[in-house]
Structures are given as C-alpha cells and as structure tokens.
Amino acid sequence: MIRIEKLCKVYGSGPTAIHALKDVSLEVRRGEFLVLMGPSGSGKSTLLHLLAGLEAPTSGEIYLDEMPITKMSDDQMTVFRRRHIGFVFQFFNLLPTLSAEENVALPLLLDGQSMKSARPKAVSMLERVGLGRRLNHRPDELSGGEAQRVAIARALVFEPSLLIADEPTGNLDSRNGEEVLSVIRDLARQFGVTVVMATHDPRAAEYGDRIARLRDGELVEEGTIPVERKAVR
C-alpha cells in the first residue's frame, strides 16, 4: 500500500538548514494501523505532510499503491488526495460557520457532487461515528470529542484508502481521546482503510498494529505491539 524510500526533507539551506527527515524508508501494508511516535521535533508531522502530498520531499520517493506521488502535478495531487487520503488534525480544522453535516459533505461538494447526492453520504457517515443526532450543530456547539468525530467522518466520507492522523487526541481529555481512537480503529477496519497516526501518547499507540519511532528525523525502531498491551477490542 505505502512504500517510502530514502525520504529526506531539508528546510532552509546552508548552516541553518534543518534536516527534518533523514533517509527514512518504511512500508505499510494495506489495512494496517501504523503508529508514528517520537519526541517533539523528530519529524512526525513532516512525514505525514509528505505522505499526504501537502509538501514535496527534498529527495526520495513515496509510492501509494505503486503510484509515485511526487511525480504528480499539484492539480493531480489535489484530486488524488481528496479521493484517496483522509486527514485528521489535532485541532479538528472544521469550518466554524458550517453544520456538522455540511462540514462532512464538503469534500464531496468540492469534487463536484450535488448537495442532494452528498447529504445522505454525510448523514450516514455521521451516524457511523455516533453523531446522528448532531447533524445541524455547528462546531462551537459540539464537545471536543464530538468535533473530532465530525472531522473523522469528513476524512472518511470518500472512503479513502489511507487515513492520516496527526495527534488526533492531542487536544482531548482521556475519555474523549479513547472514544476517538476506537472510532478510528473500528471504522478503519470496517472500510479496510490503512491508518498512519502520529502521537505522543503511549496509550493511543496501543490502538495500532505496529509502531515506527522517529528521532531527529531518523527512523530508529519498529515493532509490533504486544497483544497483552493492545487496547481492548
């Protein structure tokens, strides 16, 4: 599904250049839930941004289903991302003036679908994240956990093959955090979505199948999560 080969990302140049990623190679299987850990500044968000095609690497290549994404034009990448990659951020990134339903329908509308065809898909996805009774609430009328579940519904409304999550529980208390992680894990399984999630939280990591660890831009350790430490399923 994902093959990352010798990925390097350098910000700036000369003596002040920051080597955010150094020769990172990594594979993620279809349907796998990979957790990316590592201290602040170790390159987690950088790797996720490159994976989503939001930024270009300095060198190296990323293949999504054998497609080299750095070879795509910006326009191609925009459409590809919208249809195949869902993104969930720490701060939800919902549009404040739109209802939950409209926020979730937005990617479909941007892709040229009518509201008539987009609405039932948005409603069905909100029901799946347990928010069937919050369709018309605006983001400021939702709890943090609910807002993040709207963001998950939006990320999955296209039924993407890849879900990228950057600290999705970083802004939530532990109860809401666990609910959000369960929703991500359960829906990813239902849809067969591959998940790559960055987190600082060892408890969040227990929802994944495998951990990759970054330190100073280098991948230093990979391992499966022992069954006895996995969150209850």
| Residue 41 binding ligand ATP, by CB under 6 A | yes
Burial 1-38 (b: 16+ CB within 10 A, else e): bbebbebbbeeeeeeeeebbbbebebebeeebbbbbbb
Q: Are 53 and 69 in contact (CB under 8 A)?
A: yes
- Choose the one of Mg ion, ligand ATP, none that binds residue 176, judging by a C-beta under 5 to 8 angstroms depending on kind: none
Q: How far is the C-alpha of 177 from the C-alpha of 61, rounded, in Å?
A: 33
Q: Is 45 in the site for Mg ion (CB under 5 A)?
A: yes
As beta bridge partners, residue 195 has: 33, 163
Q: Judged by CB under 6 A, which of 33, 35, 37, 46 binds ligand ATP?
A: 46
* Least CB distance to ligand ATP at residue 133 (A): 34
Q: Which amino acid is at 214?
A: L
CB of 138 to ligand ATP, least distance (A): 28
- Using CB under 6 A as the binding rule, whether residue 11 contacts ligand ATP is answered as yes
> Least distance to ligand ATP from the beta carbon of 60, Å?
15
Of the candidate spans 24-32, 41-49, 71-79, 111-119, the one that interacts with ligand ATP by CB under 6 A turns out to be: 41-49
Q: Which residue, 4 or 164, has its beta carbon nearer to Mg ion?
A: 164
Distance (Å) of CA 30 to CA 27, 69, 92, 177: 10, 17, 25, 25
Contact residues for ligand ATP, defined by CB under 6 A: 11, 18, 20, 38, 40-46
Contact residues for Mg ion, defined by CB under 5 A: 44-45
